[in-house]
Amino acid sequence: MKSIDTLLTEILDSYEKVGGINLDGVNQFPNREAVIRLLKDLQALVFPGFLTAEILDSANLRHLTGERIHRIVASLTQETKKALLYVCDASCVNTNTCLHLAQNTSLALIEEIPEIRRKINLDAKAAMEGDPAAKSVEEVILSYPGLEAILVHRIAHFLCENGVPIIPRIMSEYIHGKTGIDIHPGAKIGESFFIDHGTGLVIGETTIIGNNVKLYQGVTLGALSVKKEMADKKRHPTIEDRVTVYPGATILGGDTVIGADSVIGGNVWVTKSVPPNSTVRYFQNGDTNSQKTRL
């Protein structure tokens, strides 16, 4: 039986040979636990008093909110700086440049919080109005995984759009693991978005979703090709306003557009565009197995 010291040496040797170690220093990678802690603070900033055990009242609201903002800015600045340094060429940037960019982005996110709150409250109202089982907007905020996934997406998408690497993916994959809803932070999603149930739902990186769209569990908005050379091209579909997509439907391709006011039935396979005001009930890829009817 090997001694603990021998085992320790072998493990340390594997760190050096194989990699996969996040050492403190210039090339340090963002810390997953720190990003998740930061995300929870951001969620609590958007919905104060709903998602944490702290007791808020009119006397302490300003103080506790101020504390939370300072904590978010400090943590996000630190983790964003790590991410920027990790992906940037040291010859074109330096620590001070990355720190300045990280600070500006962190403050920009705080400035965006009122707009994120406006949008997520529209999403909560869409869930309330679209689900007969929902009794109140507050119930939706407290208990609907779809709304939580949308909130995290709106935060992660803002960071993604503002050039923050790595951290948006950590956020999106954390909530994916928690809810079963996989939304890439690059996806563009309009207002009053409702995910019903949501488990197994996938929304790809270059997806565009309009306003007042409703998606059910098991829906895939994916790519026809997953080749690496397609990375910078639109690979995922566009879903226009007021579309409903029922459970298990698969819609693929960057050129595929689901026209406004359409309904995509459960378990269908769509790889071609659908005109506005259509219902797709069966397999639809442009051949004779398709069925589309005007509403």
Beta strand pairing status for 278-280 and 263-264? parallel
Domain co-membership, 212 together with 281: yes
Which one, of 288, 292, 250, lies nearest residue 271 by Cα? 250
- Contact present, 111 and 62 (Cβ < 8 Å): no
Q: What is the dihedral of CA 58, 64, 65, 70, to 10 degrees?
A: 160
Domain co-membership, 173 together with 205: no
DSSP 8-state assignment for residue 206: T
Domain co-membership, 220 together with 117: no
Residue 289's CATH number: 2.160.10.10
The per-residue pLDDT string of the chain (295 residues; one tens digit each, 9 = 90 and over) reads 899 999 999 999 999 899 888 877 656 789 999 999 999 999 999 999 998 888 899 999 999 999 999 999 999 999 999 999 888 755 455 678 888 999 999 999 999 999 999 999 999 999 999 999 999 999 999 999 999 999 999 999 999 999 999 999 999 999 999 999 999 999 999 999 999 999 999 999 999 999 999 999 999 999 997 777 777 899 999 999 999 999 999 999 999 999 999 999 999 999 999 999 999 987 555 543 444 443 3
Residue 165's CATH number: 1.10.3130.10
DSSP 8-state assignment for residue 30: P
**What's the domain range around 111?**
27-177
Number of structural domains (the chain) is 2
